[in-house]
Amino acid sequence: MDWLRELKNHVIYSYHIALDDLDYTPFDEKGGRGKMYQLFGAAMNNIIDELNEVLAT
C-alpha cells in the first residue's frame, strides 16, 4: 500500500509517472524500479499506465 500511495502522490503533483521516475526520490529510497517489480511483477507497467490514466485526468 505504501508504494501505491507514493505512486498516487507522484501523479498528483507531477500529473504523470514514468518508469524512469522510479529511479528517483522517494522511490529510490524504497528500492526503486527493482522493488516495484518485485512487489508487482509483470503488472508493474499496467499499474503505472492505469494510475496515469485515472489520476491524471
**Smallest Cα–Cα separation from 17: which of 48, 43, 45?**
48
pLDDT band at 11 (very low <50, low <70, confident <90, very high): confident
Distance separating alpha carbons of residues 53 and 25, to the nearest angstrom: 22
Q: Residue 56: its pLDDT value, please?
A: 63
List pLDDT tens digits, range 13-46.
Answer: 777 889 999 999 888 999 999 999 999 999 999 9
C-alpha cell at 57: 485526468
pTM for the structure as a whole: 0.72
